Structure 1
Amino acid sequence: MRRVLVANRGEIALRAIRVCRHLGLESVAVYSSADANSPHRWSADHAVCIGPPPPKSSYLNAGALIETAVALKCDAIYPGYGFLAENHAFAERSKQAGLTFIGPDSDAIASMGDKVAARQAAAAAGIPVVPGSEHGYTSAEPAKAASADIGFPLLLKASAGGGGRGMRVVERAEEFVAQFEQASAEALAAFGNAEVYLERFFPQVRHIEIQVFGDRHGNYVHLGERDCSVQRRHQKLVEEAPSPALDDATRRQMAEAAVALVRTLKYVNAGTVEFIYDPSSGKFFFIEMNTRIQVEHPVTEMVTGTDLVTEQFRVAAGERLSFGSSFANGRSAIEFRINAEDASRDFQPSPGTLKRWRPPTGREVRVDSHAYENYAVPPYYDSMLAKLIVSGSDRASCIETARSALARFQVSGVATTVPFHAHLLQQTEFDRAEIHTRWIERDFRMVIT
C-alpha cells in the first residue's frame, strides 16, 4: 500500500488519515459539497469533492468512489463505519478495480449482512441463537403464520439491515400485520431489500458485543466485550468495557463463541459479534455480526492498549495480527456519543452552527471529533459530533471522570446530548448497572428536562 482513499467523513475519516500518516501512506479524502469545510478535507494529502450533499450522490456513490481511487492511483480504499462499510458489492468492486479493501472479504460481508444466513452460520458453529424464523419474509400473512411458533412479544428485523432500521417490536398478534408492513417498507427504503425475519423478543436484556479480529495467516482472536445496553430505539448511546453485568465464566464463554464463528468464516480484519444477555437466566444468544470497525471501538482500545484502526491497515496489507486474544487489562472505559440532538424533545436532530465548542481535556479523557467552533452541522448525515471516552482503574472512577468531563464540555449553538449524559450519570440504576436495552424508553426519557 502506498496511497489510500478514505471513503468516509467525520471523525472516522480523520482517524484513518492519521493512521495513514503514521504508517507513511498518502491519504486521499473525499467530501461532499456540504462538507467543504470539514477537517478531513484539510487533513488529507489530497482531497476530491465526490458530489452534492445527499449521501446517495456522494458517500454512497460506489462508482464515483472507485473511479476516483483509480484515477488518483490509489492502492487501497478504507470504508470506516456506516455508508458503504458493509456493502459486499462495494468491497467486491474495489477488489475487481485492483484496490485493497481495508476490511473483510466481500463473501464474509455478504454472509453476515444477511441476518438469516448469519443466524444459520452461528447455529452451525454451535452458538446459541435467539429463537426465530428460519428465513425472511416479504409478505405479512406467511410471516404471521410463522409467528405462532415463536410467540409474542417478538421482534421484526430487516434481513439486510442494521442500525435499528426496519426493526419493530410486536407485542400482540393483532398488531403484527401493520407492524410488519411498516418494517418491510422501511427495510426496502433503507437497504433496497424488503425481507424481514422474526425473532423472539426479550424485554429486559443487556446488549453485549465481542470485538474480534482475523488475519490471512489463520489467526483469530477476541479483545473482550463491550456493553452497549444504553440504547434508544435500538440506537446505541453509551458503551462500556468491561460489562458490569457479566461474570468471568459467561465472559469467557461468549468470547469463545465469537472466536468460533470467525474461525468458521475464516474471517479477516475487524468485526464485532453481537449477543443479547439475559441476566435473570444467565443465558446469552447470538443476534448478528457487524463486519466493520464499530463507532465504539475506542472503548476496547482504552482497556486493551491496542490500536484497532492501524491493525486494520496492517492486516489488509497481509501482515499477521500483532496481538492475541485478551480481555480488559484491569481498566475500565466508557464512551458517550455526543450527538446534535435534543433529548428533551425526543432526541430531535438539531443541525445548525456551533457557536461554542470546547471539549474537555484530561489524563483519562479522550475526545474523537471532527467538530470545531463555528462548524456548520449539516442535516444530511448522522448527527454524531464527537465521542467522549473516559477511562479509569474501575467503573466507579470512570463514572466520576465522566461527570467531571461532561460538566466541563462547553457547547452552544445546537442542542446536544451532553445534558442527557450528565443526567444519565445521576441515575442510581445506571450507577448500579441495573439497566436494560429498553430502559431509556420505558423508565428514563420522561424525566429529561
Structure 2
Amino acid sequence: MAYLHCLPPSVEPRVSDHIPQIIDMIKQIVDNGFAYSVDGDVYFSVAKVPDYGQLSGRKLEDNRAGERVAIDSRKRHPADFALWKSAKEGEPFWESPWGPGRPGWHIECSAMSAVYLGYSFDIHGGGMDLMFPHHENEIVQSCAACRESNISYWVHNGFVTINSEKMSKSLGNFFTIRQVIELYHPLALRLFLMGTHYRSPINYSDALLEYASERIFYIYQTLYDSQALLGKHEKASLKNSIPQDIASCINDFQNSFVNSMSDDLLTPVVLAGLSDPLKTMNDLLHTRKGKKRDLRIESLVALEKAIRNVLVALGLMPSNYSEALHQLKEKALKRAKLSEAEVQQKIEERDTSRKNKEYEKSDAIRKELAAVGITLMDSPEETTWRPVVPTALQQEPTMAS
C-alpha cells in the first residue's frame, strides 16, 4: 500500500488481543437490557431498538430470515444476532461469564474501535456490502453499551467490476494490486481509482488504466518542464504579482478543490479541474505567445505551487518528477514488450526513412509504435517518445470525470 501512497494505519488491532474488552462490552449490553443469554450464546435483541435499520433504510419487518440459513428457534426474534458464541469442537475459544466461546462477528469491531477511538468518532468506512447487517449491528450494539455512542460519517465504497463484470474468484477475473503494478505505475493506479467517486462502482479495464497512465505522465511532464525552467531563475528576483487571468485560473482551481472535496470527496471533479492550470502552464512553457507573456516566470511559480498542493493532498505527488517519468516509461515498455534500445532502433530507422523520403515506411513505424502505446515526438534537435494509450484501446470509454 505504500507504493500507492496510502498512509499506514496508526494501529492494527487483533481480536485475540482484545477478548477482555469484548467481554466487558457484551456485559454492558446485557446489563443495559439489550441482550440475553441462551445455552452459552449471547444474542442482541433487535426488538429493543425501534430505529434498527436507520443506516441502510431497511425496516425490521423487511428482513426475511431463514432464506440462507436455518432460523435458530432459541432466538426471541429471527433478526437477533450473536454477540458471543458457545465453543464448538475444533474452534478456538476463551472463557467468559456465559461459558467458553468466542466473539460474534459484529461485536469485535465495536469493542476495538471503542478502545482506540472512543464511543464517538468522526468517520467509519467499509464496502457497500457491510452496510447491512454488519454496520447496522455495530451501531445498535455500540449505542446499547454506551448511550452517547455516535459516528458522524459513514463512508461506503462501491464494488469493483472487471470490464463491466463483477470481480470474483469464481469467475477467474480476480487479481491483486501487486499484479496490477507489475505493468502500471502505482500512482497511475491511484489516479485511476480517484477518477470514480468512491461510493460508485468502479469498472477496471486495461483501457482505463492506460488513460490514467497517459494522464499522470502529462501531469508530471508539465511539472518537470516547469521545474527545469524555474531552476534557471533566481527566486529572489521574482515579483509577487501575477496577471489577473492567471490569478483567476488559480483561484477557480483552488475553490473547486475545496468545494469538491467538501462535497463527499468528489475526486473526479478535482481531477477534471487540473486541466485548466496544466494547459495554462504548457502554454507558458511551450507556445510562442506564452513565452512572451509578462510575469511568465512568476505565473509558472504560482501555478506549480497550486497544482503541487493539490497533488500532495490527493497523495499523487511523486518524490521526484524525473524519476516518476522514467518509471512510467519503463512500465509502458513492459506493456509494449519492448526495450528502450528497441524503441531507439525504431526511431533511427524512421529517421533514415525520412531522410530517404520513404514517408510511407516512416509512417508505418510511427503507427507500429502507437499501436503498442508509444508515440514519437519530433523536434528540431531530436525525436523522443512518450507513453500513450495504444491505438486499439482508444475507442474504449475514458476515465470518469
TM interval, short-chain normalised: under 0.3
**Structure with greater Cα Rg:** 2
TM-score by length of 1: 0.24
Structure with the larger helix share: 2
Task: Please identify which structure carries the higher strand content.
Answer: 1
- Relative to the length of structure 2, the TM-score reads 0.26
